[in-house]
Structure 1
Amino acid sequence: MGLLGRLRDLLSREREPELTIDSPDLVVVASAFDPAEADSAVLARSPDWRPDELAVLRHHLSLPADQVERARELLAPDDWTVLDGSPLHAVRVQKLDALHCAQERSRMASLAQRLGGEALGWDALQPAR
C-alpha cells in the first residue's frame, strides 16, 4: 500500500467512533447457539454483520459461582471482560471472522468445562445502522 493509501486508512480510522463493550447503540448481528452449526455458516447467514468493522463478541457461559473470579483471571490477559448475570458474558471488541469465532468458541467451551460449567453459545454485536 502506498503513502496515499496509508494516509486514507489513517484518516478513516480517526473518523470512526471507538467501539467499546458497552457502546449504547449495539445490536446483535449474528448468533450461534447450536454447536453443530459452523461459525462460518452463522456469519454467512447474517445480513446485518459487517465484516470490515469491529464487533463485540459475546460468549454466554454458565459457571458455578465460585469459579467466576477464576474465569476473570484466565480471560483478562487476552482483554476479555466477564460480566455478571445469568448467564455470564465474556465480551471483547475484535474483528470478527469465522476462524476467530471458531477458535474462541472452542476456548470458551474448554474454559467452561475446566471450571465445571458450560459454554452456551455466542453472539456478535455491532452499532445499529
Structure 2
Amino acid sequence: MISIDDPDLRVVVWSYDDTEAASAALARATDWNPDDPAVLRHHLALPGDVVDTAAAVLAQDDWILRPGGRADELSVSGLTPLVALRVQQLDALHCSQETSRMAGLAQRHGGETFGWDALQRGPG
C-alpha cells in the first residue's frame, strides 16, 4: 500500500480540463499502472472560512484536505488553494464521480475546482 506522503510518488496522469473525460485522460497516460493503487488529488480553492467544514465533509470518505495545489500556482484571488488527497484504485468511473463531487463541494462553498491528477510510485 502507498501513502499520500510517499516520497517516491510522481504524477502519472492528469486532467486539468473540465471538458476532458476521465477515460480519455487515463487512456493517454503512458506511465499509469491500473493494477497499482494511486493517490488521487483534486485541486480546488475555497474561501478560508469554509476550509474546516469542507475538510470534515471530505474526511468522512477518507479524503485529506491540505493547502497547496494548482490553485496556488494560478494565484486565485480571495480563495485558499487546496488539494484533496486519497489513496485508491484508479478507474474512469470513480475518477469521474469524485470530480463531480469536488465540483459540487466547491460550488456549494463559493469555491472553484482546477482539475485532478494521480500519483504512483516511480519505477525502481
TM-score (normalised: structure 1): 0.85
Task: Return the alpha-carbon distance in structure 2 between the equivalents of residues 73 and 112 of structure 1.
Answer: 14
Task: Return the alpha-carbon distance in structure 2 between the equivalents of residues 121 and 22 of structure 1.
Answer: 20
Answer yes or no: is 1:77 the counterpart of 2:71.
Answer: no
Alignment coverage as a number of residue pairs: 112
Answer yes or no: is 1:105 the counterpart of 2:99.
Answer: yes
Answer yes or no: is 1:93 the counterpart of 2:76.
Answer: no
SS at match of 2:60: helix
Provide, for residues 31-64 of structure 1, a one-character-per-residue CA deviation record: whole Å limited to 9, x for no partner. Answer: 0111111000000000000000000000001111
Gaps of 5+ in 1: 1-17
SS at match of 1:20: coil
Q: Which has the larger radius of gyration?
A: 1
2:108 corresponds in structure 1 to 114
Q: Which has the higher contact order (CA 8 A, sep 6+)?
A: 2
- Determine what percentage of the aligned residue pairs are the same residue: 61
1:39 corresponds in structure 2 to 22
CA deviation after TM superposition for structure 1 residue 67, in Å: 1.0
Please provide the CA RMSD for this pair. 0.7
Partner residue of 2:2 out of 6, 11, 19: 19
1:30 corresponds in structure 2 to 13
Task: Return the alpha-carbon distance in structure 2 between the equivalents of residues 50 and 104 of structure 1.
Answer: 19
Q: Which letter maps to 1:52?
A: D
Task: Return the alpha-carbon distance in structure 2 between the equivalents of residues 116 and 70 of structure 1.
Answer: 13
Q: Which letter maps to 1:63?
A: L
- Runs (4+) of structure 1 moved beyond 6 Å? none
Gaps of 5+ in 2: 73-80
TM-score (normalised: structure 2): 0.88
